[in-house]
Structure 1
Amino acid sequence: MAEVTVDVRDGLGWVTIDNPPVNALGRAVRQGLWDAVATLRDADVRAVVLTGAGRAFVAGADIRELGQTPVEPYLPDVLAAIADAPVPWIAAINGLALGGGLEVAMACHARIAAPSAKLGLPEVNIGIIPGSGGTVRLPRLVSMATAIKLVTSGKPIGAQEALESGLVDRLGEGDLLAEATAMAKDLAASGRPEPALARDLVAGDPIDWDAQAAQLRKRSRGAVAPLEALASLKCAARDPVEVALAGERERFLWLAASEEAAALRHVFFAERGAGQALKQAEAVPADLSRVGVIGGGTMGAGIATALLLAGSYVCLIERDDAAAQTAKTRVADTIAASVKRGAIAATKGESALARLGTDTEYAALRDCPLVIEAVFEDMGVKREVFTKLDAVMPAEAILATNTSYLDVNLLAETTKDPSRILGLHFFSPAHVMKLLEVVRGEATGARALATGGALAKLLRKIPVVAGVCDGFIGNRIMAAYRRDCEFMLEEGALPHQIDAAMQGFGFAMGIYAVQDMSGLDIAWAQRRARAPHRAPEERYAHIADRLCEAGRLGRKTGKGWYDYASGEAEVAPEVTGIIEEESAKAGRTRKVFTEQEIITRILATMQREGQAVLREGIAESADDIDVVMITGYGFPRHKGGPMYMARCAD
């Protein structure tokens, strides 16, 4: 039950927010804070320390309340009451201070944070902006450049960066509450600091607002909230405080009721609800402190990197010593790149690499409770690997295949106990991408599923359970709309027109630019493998095959759907010629497609295939399909996913 406790001792007031799990600012908490201000205003205290119970200060608003009619007490009023208190309020930030939680901290007169604290304003990630003075208080504590970065990106910062920027006043190196007590006594003696709204803007370099808006517009790909956040900060820099506060609140209320915010709330809850079968698996997962990985190519090295950075020891198997050394170098380079871009500390990278071992014999894997196979996407090769594993691994070991298309049930046939087999479809780069399709075979047991769930938790990935079919959830849907895009090429569209329509909708890249980046040869091999089983009456476009036969395999060959002689993607006359030839062979009369017609058809194909995936029980829910398409395939997050859009259109 949500609770805000008030205690008075030694001349100080203590206010603790206790609303598990993250002290969200629901109505009960807001009322508790409102009452605490009133109680302590009448008490004989010299200062007040405000903190959160557990491991969070306040991790934001209660998202379930967003989009509903606001209920008193409103957070802006609560924060104004804290700021107007006659004695200093000190925020002791013991963990997460996000969104409304950081707005609470900024309303206090001073802030002290634990070194492990994270602070941020992530509202744009759910389609809104700070609505209780966040965009007005923030640039009075940090530079406007820092404020823009925090508010428009939604990314939190650590306590040390918060100290250096001015967002917090001190770090509590020892007992946070003891140090907050000392800080409160100091401020009680020296006098209450001015609240943020009474301060001037922090001095900094002039902001080119038009340039900032142009960059943000390109980066947000159609999402409105980041641009509204920037506009609110611009008002904070230009207008009187009262006007800026009113403008921020108006934007917040408008955005909270918008379709974009509703879509992003859907995604928020869908991601947290994904992988139900994993949560319900009544079994103890395998120990993940030591994991085996077979294959040190791009995917295997990425999987190994993810495990190493999560703290596991990894035994990586390759076919010979030279390949093993190459794989180790690939992992080391990947970790070094993460250090260089600031994603991890150098010391973490060094300790991670120290946990990597390589070998050429499967027997070296015997003490690994989980082994993940990541060799070439070929059924014969993978079946050989599993046959060898079954011969040497202990009976209790879990064996997983990293496959994006292949039949997990056929792989399980190679083992004496198919209940220990599951698929783990990682997305490239495996140490970065958040999605993990956990493929449940016909015989996959509860312990294997529980291990898949534990692995996703360890790697901080979003797991979605998929049944066995060609391509599982994501690749099956992508194959369906990719196939229909080629039909549109036959009917009159060109690759750059389809890519432009997808980018205009909000995809970072169109499907043909993506194919060129990843290479056309793997999909070509898969099409050739399926050709003998293709029904004669099934419609099939030969355009992509023609490109591959001509050596146009993508960026790696300097030409694919586009030409890359200049280094940039350019419309390829040769491709246009092939498309027109295939149109004529198929007897198609070419027509002009509008961008809206293209994206409407792509969405319809996604939704139709998604419904088939649901009917066949391949996905557990429509929400899971949305999660897969957003986190794994670039579907614009602020649209909510193809299945969500279909539901909203009904």
Structure 2
Amino acid sequence: MSEVVTYQREGAIGVITVNYPPVNALSHAVRSGLLDALKQGQADAEAKALLLVCEGRTFIAGADIREFGKPMQEPGLPTVVEAYENSDKPIIAAIHGTALGGGLEMALGCHYRVALESAKVGLPEVKLGLLPGAGGTQRLPRLAGAQKSLEMITTGDFISASDALQAGIVDAVEASSDAKAAGEQFALKVIDEGKPARRVRELTDRIEADKGSDVFEQFRTGLQKKARGLFSPFKCVDAVEAAFQLPFEEGMKRERELFMECMESPQRAGLVHAFFAEREVSKVPGLPKDTPVRDIKSVGIIGAGTMGGGIAMNFANVGIPVRLLEVKQEALDKGLAIIRRNYENTAKKGRITQAQVEERMALIQPTLAYEDFGDVDLVIEAVFENMGIKKEIFGTLDKVCKQGAILASNTSTLDIDEIASATNRPEDVVGMHFFSPANVMKLLENVRGTKTADDVKATVMDIAKRIKKVGVLVGNCYGFVGNRMLHQRGAEAIKLVNEGATPQQVDKVLTDLGFPMGQFAMSDLAGIDVGYRIREERRNAGENIPPSWMDKLAEQGRLGQKTQAGTYLYEEGSRKPIPDPKVDALIEEFRKEQGIEPREITDQEILERCMYVMINEGAKILEEGIADRALDVDIVWIYGYGFPAYRGGPMFWADQVGVKEIYETVKRFHDTLGGDQWKPAPLLERLAKEGKTFGSL
């Protein structure tokens, strides 16, 4: 008998229990154990009904990620689900925690389902570039109908037990905290009332009701925008539609065909890489697991502007009190008003209650005095990218903050060590680079200085989890990981326009690759003045930063979306970029000033120059130890810059394109265009010549 799945009869109920911590995943041992326990239950003459339950914190939460990428060992999940559905004794699934993916498919193979009120169910396979492959696309529609099934399967989102009851996915919801007791109670009712083994595959009412519906075409049309560039959501629609067009067995065959198409898609590989990378990124090489963390019970934030206000919301959202500082009352009032407006808008959408709005606002206490930071555990500075201002602020913090307080800068480019030099406690200084809008974007790029203490590194990584961010710990250099690579792409994009491309052409190449917006539309969103200030700061530091037509936009007050004019025009209340002939004329004038004769530039050249310059820079970042692993770079770009997750991040994408091909192209650009940015990184050259990948490092 399996150690992870056991069978025991309790009265007239045969109880099949899965106990495979931490989440009862459907490993080979669990699948085999489920079949063995079913045989025992079938052979037990005293058992009138069978109950499937799980120990621990959850029902079966899906596939075993430790088996990802390995050949499937029999029995496969479809075989196990079919065996349970074929049982002549009624089987009840008692769901607590989450029943996800194969876990929900397993429950759908049972004849009845009872869920605790706190449970959630879902089929999230689409998030890994797949579709449910054990009958989920065929059985769910027989219970929930076309609309609900398509919503669940194409988004992969979970739904509550009460929603599942309303949709017909579960038969009962119990307020109890004991899934086994709730399941046994339901099983006794099944026995007492002589209910049969109700097989989901035999249910036809919902199939007949939705046959001939135009819901499938409507969904495909909607996905053109929602799932632009993605492969598996459209295959999900095909699979669900098969449930309404084909007999069950043929529908199962169609599901398997479509599942295999998804398995063979490069997008699956990219999404699986992103899935594992996100989990791995929190494990920092060289930082022991048992490194202590400092207790963060209160936070001070300097600057109530877009960034500071957004950062404050992150902490208030999880119940951590914030003191928000500004130098003038007017700026403070404006910042608080924006925070309240953001919360009110969220409440209008039904995501939080009005009471929660007031609770969160009460946690954000305004102040004009640095002395009010005397007892906070963490201070985050979020002011303009100006080294002089930041050093002045950190000098003040050094005087007013208690010993052991962490002093963090939200700088996106500046030297953390130089900022730390303004204090007598460089071991307590760290970068915490949030991304705009800070209350929405998931990335937190934590930057270690030369002297940052290990417990400070561990604490800021822990904070990322507490405030529901994806934290990545990186080294200190200009722009760190994300902006260092972005600025190389931005400079190349500007040069491409200088040479003859249009901003729209450059942006389209990037959006066609899967980015939500192109380089110039992104600059408009962030604010053209942000990049302008960074370039000016670098020029003031003595760097040779060439003039740019984008500087002219900033000097004319065309700062992007916030002024409704940047590289593009924007209508009131719209974020849609509209090409502006005035910018075309400005670019043409700039070319004449610089003596540039425009030429025709292909989309392929734009792709190579924008992307390969990033890959070359990424290789330098890895070589210098600014990022410990290629996956760190990938996660920074997926969660901070909208790199399409289905391409796995820039370094994974480079492996898919071919490191050798990228190296040879970079070398060619160095020969033809010149510039340090095109000098092949030694790591890129070595990997190309050794036939290795970034993923092999």
The code of the aligned residue for 2:196 comes to R
1:563 aligns with 2:565: no
Question: Could you say if the C-alpha distance between residues 578 and 320 of structure 1 is closer, same or farther in structure 2, counting changes exceeding 3 Å?
Answer: closer
Q: CA deviation at 1:299?
A: 1.4
Taking structure 1 as reference, are residues 589 and 18 closer, same or farther at Cα in structure 2, changes over 3 Å only? farther
Return the offset for 1:40. 0.7
More contact order relative to length (CA 8 Å, sep ≥ 6) = 1
Q: How far did 1:135 drift? A: 0.7
CA distance in 2, matches of 1:423, 1:2: 48
- Tell me which residue corresponds to 1:413: 421
Match of 1:185 in 2: 188
- Residues 191-590 of structure 1 mapped to structure 2, 5 A cutoff: 191-202=195-206, 203=209, 206-277=213-284, 280=288, 282-533=290-541, 540=546, 542-564=548-570, 568-590=576-598
Contact 1:142-1:166 at 8 Å conserved across structures: yes
Which letter maps to 2:617? E
Shift of 1:193: 4.8
Distance in 1 (alpha carbons) for counterparts of 2:547 and 2:7: 71
Partner Cα distance (2:313, 2:362) in 1: 12
Which whole-Å deviations, capped at 9, do the CAs of 1:37-68 have from their partners, x for residues lacking one?
11111112122221222212122112343444
Flag the 1:354–1:177 CA change in 2: closer, same or farther, 3 A: farther
Contact 2:81 2:106 in 1 (8 A): yes
Distance (whole Å) between structure 2 residues aligned to residue 134 and residue 348 of structure 1: 37
Looking at structure 2, the residues matched to 348 and 204 of structure 1 have their Cα atoms a distance apart, in angstroms, of 40
CA distance in 2, matches of 1:132, 1:48: 21
| CA deviations over 1:596-623 (Å, ceiling 9, x no partner) | 3322322211101101111111111111
Aligned residue for 1:39? 40
Q: Deviations over 1:495-529 (max 9, x none)?
A: 11111111111111111111112220111111122
* 1:148 corresponds to: 150
Partner of residue 175, structure 2: 173
1:91 is displaced (CA, Å) by 1.5
Distance 1:233 1:592 in 2: 46
Is the contact between residue 147 and residue 215 of structure 2 (CA under 8 Å) also seen in structure 1?
no
Pair 201,272 (structure 1): closer, same or farther in 2 beyond 3 Å: farther
Who is 1:93 aligned against? 95
The verdict on how the C-alpha distance between 1:25 and 1:299 changes in structure 2, with shifts beyond 3 A counting, is: same
Deviation sequence 1:229-257 (CA, Å, 0-9, x none): 01111111221111111111111123123
Measured after TM superposition, the shift of residue 360 of structure 1 is 2.2
Q: What secondary structure sits across from 1:276 in the alignment?
A: coil
Q: Give TM-score scaled by structure 1 length.
A: 0.95
- Structure 2 counterpart of 1:641, which letter? G
> Is the 1:67–1:257 contact (alpha carbons within 8 Å) kept by the matching residues of 2?
no
Tell me, yes or no, if the aligned pair for 1:66 and 1:256 is still in contact at 8 Å.
Answer: no
CA 1:155–1:366: 2 relative to 1, 3 Å: same
Structure 2: any 5+ residue segments left out of the alignment? 660-697
Residue by residue, what CA displacement relative to the aligned partner does 1:319-366 show, whole Å, maximum 9, x if unpaired?
A: 244443433333222222222223334444443333332222223223
**SS of corresponding position for 1:521:** helix
Of 62-71 and 403-412, more deviation after overlay is shown by 62-71
Task: Name the structure 1 match of 2:119.
Answer: 117
Distance 1:321 1:562, change over 3 A: closer
| Contact preservation (8 Å) 1:127, 1:225 | yes
Q: Distance in 1 between matches of 2:628 and 2:299?
A: 28
- Residue 201 to residue 130, structure 1, CA distance change in 2 (3 Å): farther
1:358-389 Cα distance to aligned partner (Å, 9 max, x none)? 22222322332222222333222222222221
- Superposition deviation, residue 152 in structure 1: 0.5
Residue 67 of structure 1 contacts residue 262 of structure 1 at CA under 8 Å; is this kept in 2? no
Aligned residues: 648
**Aligned Cα RMSD in Å?**
2.1
Shift of 1:160: 2.2
* 1:420–1:447 CA contact under 8 A, matched in 2: no
Residues 221 and 503 of structure 1 are in contact (CA less than 8 Å); yes or no, is this contact kept in structure 2? no
C-alpha distance in structure 2 between counterparts of 1:428 and 1:33, whole Å: 48
Which residue of structure 2 aligns with residue 9 of structure 1? 10
C-alpha separation between the residues in 1 aligned to 2:393 and 2:293?
23
Do 2:314 and 2:439's aligned partners in 1 also have CA atoms closer than 8 Å? yes
Distance change >3 Å, CA 410–CA 128, structure 1 → 2: same
Cα offset for 1:147?
0.9
For the Cα contact (< 8 Å) 1:145–1:207, is it kept in 2? no
Question: 5 Å matches for 1:591-630?
Answer: 591-630=599-638
Distance 1:532 1:355 in 2: 40
- Stretch moving more, 604-613 or 156-165: 156-165
Q: Distance in 2 between matches of 1:54 and 1:642?
A: 38
Instruction: Report the AA paired with residue 98 of structure 2.
Output: L
Asked if the contact 2:88/2:197 (under 8 Å) is kept, the reply is no
Cα distance in 2 between the residues matched to 1:193 and 1:534: 79
1:192–1:304: structure 2 CA closer, same or farther, 3 Å change rule? farther
Deviations 1:159-193 (A, max 9, x none): 22222222222222023321211111111222135
Distance 1:529 1:306, change over 3 A: same
Taking the aligned partners of 1:348 and 1:280, their CA distance within structure 2 comes to 37
Look up the match of 2:65: 63
**What is the CA-CA distance between 1:535 and the residue it aligns to?**
5.3
Tell me how far apart the structure 2 counterparts of residues 283 and 145 of structure 1 sit (CA, whole Å): 49
Letter in 2 for 1:111: R
Identify which of 130, 136, 139 aligns with 1:137: 139
What SS does the aligned partner of 1:45 have?
coil
Shift of 1:572: 1.7
Q: Match of 1:327, SS?
A: helix
Q: Which region of structure 1 is more displaced relative to structure 2, 437-446 or 386-395?
A: 386-395
Aligned amino acid, residue 566 of structure 2: G
AA aligned opposite 1:555: Q
CA apart distance, 1:295: 2.0
| 1:80 alignment partner in structure 2 | 82
| Post-superposition offset of 1:318 | 2.6
Q: Distance in 2 between matches of 1:444 and 1:503?
A: 38
Residue 644 of structure 1, CA deviation: 0.6
Residue segments in structure 1 that go unaligned for 5+ positions in a row: none
**Deviation larger for 622-631 or 306-315:** 306-315
How many Å separate the matches in 2 of 1:245 and 1:346?
46
In structure 2, C-alpha distance between the alignment counterparts of 1:597 and 1:147, rounded to whole Å: 43
